[in-house]
A = this chain, B = another copy of it.
């Protein structure tokens, strides 16, 4: 067996969102990530691997390929033995009663991946994204979530509409907000985090009632802002620390 031209074309096309949606497939790579996905509820479509011993572990359709072929289909600097095609899971409705993280046009795949891991860590099952947020089946997101992708329910929604219809209090990070260390935070809320350069959109800003500030310390008042993923980490920690 080896890699067919059609498969090469299919796998390469899946680097683009429109082809992921057309074929309802996404790509994951590396033994660790693939093993996490195989043991999750996400359904595998096909595995391409250079290492047959890997195949003994699971009943899946597979093709043995050469190192050179793997290199052709991989987007990693150092391809790691296996690349898999997985079925994009069917959408599950957002559970509107749970603590929810909402993202408004987060563009960087690494940031989305880190935030998905944070949700998983803090036991947050609902992640809601504006339609212009980076796709969670983008390969860089898949690789950086380290399996957390399978444990967080991610939905792409009309964010202003979603936020207008919630019964939960809606919070965001803002330089002009209340000191997060000094306010009392509810057990259930929606935390909206914004775009890397521009923060949350005006439309969303008008809906958000509660603005939180992570205070700056020391004399250096020039630090622009925290990265969206580190700010999310600190705010989620503040929401959750009282529950421990």
Contact residues of A with B, CB < 8 Å? 110, 114, 117-118, 120-125, 146-148, 151, 179, 181-182, 214-220, 222-224, 226-227, 229-231, 233-234, 237-238, 240-241, 243-244
Q: Give the nearest-CB partner of A123 in chain B.
A: B218
18 of the cross-chain contacts (CB-CB < 8 Å) are A117-B223, A117-B227, A120-B220, A120-B223, A121-B216, A121-B217, A123-B216, A123-B218, A124-B218, A179-B244, A217-B240, A217-B243, A217-B244, A226-B233, A227-B229, A229-B229, A230-B230, A237-B237
Question: A122 contacts which chain B residues (CB < 8 A)?
Answer: 216-218
Copies in the complex: 2
Pick from B227, B240, B243: contact of A114, CB under 8 Å = B227
A202 to chain B, nearest CB (A): 23
A223 in contact with B110 given A123-B217, A230-B118 (CB within 8 Å): no
Q: Given A118-B230, A233-B234, is A224 in contact with B182 using a C-beta cutoff of 8 Å?
A: no
Q: Which residue of B lies closest to A231 (CB)?
A: B233
User: CA separation between A142 and B242, bound complex, in Å?
Assistant: 37
Whether B117 pairs with A226 at a CB distance below 8 angstroms is yes
* Chain B residues near A121 (CB-CB < 8 A): 214, 216-217, 223, 226
- Assembled-state Cα–Cα distance A148/B225 (Å): 10
Given A179-B244, A229-B230, A237-B238, output 10 extra A-B contacts at Cβ < 8 Å: A114-B229, A117-B230, A123-B217, A123-B219, A124-B217, A125-B218, A148-B223, A151-B223, A217-B243, A233-B233
Chain B residues with CB under 8 Å of A146's CB are 224
Inter-subunit contact A220/B181 (CB<8 Å): no
- Minimum CB–CB distance from A107 to chain B (whole Å) comes to 13
Provide the bound-state CA to CA distance between A181 and B117, in Å: 20
Measured CA separation A182–B243 after assembly (Å): 11
Nearest-Cβ distance from residue A24 to partner chain B, whole angstroms: 25
Bound Cα distance A234, B114 (Å): 14
The 8 A-B residue pairs whose C-beta atoms are closest, nearest first, are A123-B218, A123-B217, A230-B233, A181-B241, A120-B223, A233-B233, A234-B237, A122-B217
